[in-house]
Structure 1
């Protein structure tokens, strides 16, 4: 869709160029959502791609993913480090409500900052306990959990002028066993629920992340693998289920219970 109110596009070359962000001036990464609907209040785009961020930086500490990395780049990240959680990258990319053409332009950071409940990058990086590096408008830096960055349906903890720079996934999370489930009302429809489990072999802790079915990511943590009853009770205790065209709240709760139990059983096998 044409943004016919835009009269200026600024190719950012340094962090200083981001000082132009504010009312009517917004960041441009892939643009797959930005150009999908009318935005008459926007008059300036600040292009983040011209900053030239490396999509991935791998170190002994883990993986740093640039906010401008595309879903295609993430889905094809080589599996050459022995990360048990590696399959989750591709699995979550397949939850995007969009074709391969969208994968080529849609960015990790854009998907998270749009903050749709069904955002698969929010699901992925929340499940891996990733931290988001935020460049604050005042020049400071802050890291916050991705699960806390998205606060509700299309809302985040970002302030005006803030920019999501990257996502850091710790090596320990990458070494965890994971299990993924997605359900939608139609085969290629927007996710009604995305449920991801992660078992940490170091301390044998278990975390279940529920998203798409809730207005923000919900995480359930256990010191060890829970019983079926414990897990069900915890899921039923979530209070942020919602209803829209992609599923009713009671259906979302019910299917999350079923998918959560499937994940518990799968990761029980992995733990053994």
Structure 2
């Protein structure tokens, strides 16, 4: 059965790469609304708001290291741990990127995000569908997410720019989560509260798109800064669920 799903997944990935044309990174992406310098820090609020990721990641990984058996099954513990470590890396990678936004610095931001996405998807997949399979999926999925970022970076440098694999590894897990929550039963309470993980992230992407209008509306806080805070809130919700959910009888 596992081989069947593996073959289908590889086939679907091949079809996706054949049908969807390569997509290069639009250089306008790096032109953020917030270009204020505060305390000698360029693009200050976009840089400093990344501290929220580090705080959430630190809270989560500390809890999982101190009382691992309290929060989750040992088979998905590495996935949750890597997710929170990934949030801390996102704080560093995104902070570095926003000091000087360009394609090179963006690589560090996206690598950390890819690790977090793949780790969280693996954890939720394991708890909703198969703990045994999730235990085997973590490293291959993290490697796939990393490959998507590395391939994009290399393609921008030497070819024509190709974000397809990166976008697939970022957005496919988000698209699959609602279906997983509807189709499968969680052994814990608060099953449908998991949707807030997705909701906060969708709101974060919305504020990212309206970066400049939100800055004009707020008089100094850009949409991208708010995006960081909402995305960190999405990560905090994972910790909240781990802390508050109960095993169903």
Whether these two folds match at TM > 0.5 is no
More RCO (CA 8 Å, sep 6+): 2
What TM-score, normalized by structure 1, do the two folds share?
0.26
Relative to its length, the structure with more helix (as a share) is: 2
Relative to its length, the structure with more strand (as a share) is: 1
